[in-house]
Amino acid sequence: MWNRSRSIRSNRSSSKKNRTPFFPPWADRPRSISRSPWPNRDSGDSSCVLPPYMIGEDDYESICRQTALLAQALNVKGLINVQFALKDGEIFLLEVNPRASRTVPFVSKASGIPWAKIAARVMCGRKLKDLGVLHREPGNRVAVKSPVFPFIKFPNVQTYLGPEMRSTGEVMGLDTSFGGAFAKAILAAGHRLPTAGNVFISVNDNDKDKASAVARQLHDLGFGIMATEGTQRAFRKIGIPCRKVFKVEEGRPNSVDMIINGEIQLVINTPLGKVSRYDEYNIGRVAMARGILCLTTLSAAWAAVNAIRSLMAGPLSVIALQDVI
């Protein structure tokens, strides 16, 4: 059911007599840095963006409304953490936790509001209206949280993710645009975003249509496109120039050889099946060792295109966190 869904989380603080949501649900984990936004991945291993970036207005309002109804029905005083999944326009409720989550510090820094402090006072009997905190939009700021993984220190460990959290840290990028914020988060996490060179793309059949749009954007930005046979065929059908590259087991030189030789500056690989997972492990390890960004979801690829475009437009701006909090 969840193979093509988007995961959404809503953090909300409420008191018994005032249940107005303070801040829009933060949502859409465009799974950056080669991590997946699927609900079967631990949320701590996912990137997230505030305010919501890829959710329609109707879905956004529905999530806000359902979160408020849940808080009322459960008689929550303080923070409540709700996780939804969005698939084909239908919203699914994954879980509800009457507590703060690990994302509250991120939301507090992004919004400039100390949510944990406010929630603690509400739990002690204070009312939201007395604390002077009302629903508040984030203005022209966009914040992106990105996880940091220790895989480079463990040469033989599997890099793909599952239900158990594997990240050991996180960083935040803050900017006036999503692309700029995502670029800052990626760079802060220790990765490089290329502004020239070649992009290797290998996607499963389900992703070929959307991957073609990503490839078109990268080609228009001046990147050379390299792809495995099936992906190359899909790209050429719509007129995207593309060079064929062997899969790991198909021959030499293959994608791993070309990464080692410095011919590939960015990897987009959405594996499906055991053979693809074998390729993912080999490609991911080699790319990681050479500081090459490896993305394994198309939402991450779209986010990276936005970030690259921001980098190519000029130097990133500097926003002091002290000016926000």
pLDDT in tens, 203-217: 998 899 999 999 999
Burial class (CB in 10 A: 0-12, 13-18, 19+), 151: middle
- Return the ∠ at Cα 176 (arms to 172 and 180), rounded to 5°: 60
pLDDT confidence of 4, banded at 50, 70, 90? very low
Residue 319 DSSP SS3: coil
CA-nearest of 286, 282, 270 to 31 is: 270
Tell whether the model's pLDDT for residue 121 goes beyond 90: yes
For the stretch 253-263, pLDDT in tens is: 899 999 999 99
pLDDT band at 32 (very low <50, low <70, confident <90, very high): very low
Give Cα separations from 96 to 51, 100, 245 (angstroms). 21, 11, 45
* Whole-number pLDDT of residue 133: 74
Is residue 175 very low, low, confident or very high in pLDDT (cuts 50, 70, 90)? Answer: very high
Question: Sign of dihedral through CA atoms 147, 95, 36, 30?
Answer: negative
Give pLDDT tens digits for 226-265: 999 999 999 999 999 999 999 888 888 899 999 999 999 9
φ, ψ of residue 49 to 5 degrees: the values are: -135, 140
Assess whether pLDDT exceeds 50 at residue 27: no
* pLDDT value of residue 166: 78
Average pLDDT over residues 50-76: 87
* Structural domains of the chain sorted by starting position, each given as residue range(s) with its CATH number in brackets: 6-144 (3.30.470.20), 193-291 (3.40.50.1380)
Higher pLDDT, 271 or 105: 105
pLDDT band at 129 (very low <50, low <70, confident <90, very high): confident
pLDDT in the model for residue 150: 81
Please name the residue ranges forming H helices in the chain: 57-73, 104-111, 115-123, 128-131, 178-188, 208-220, 229-237, 255-260, 274-289, 298-313
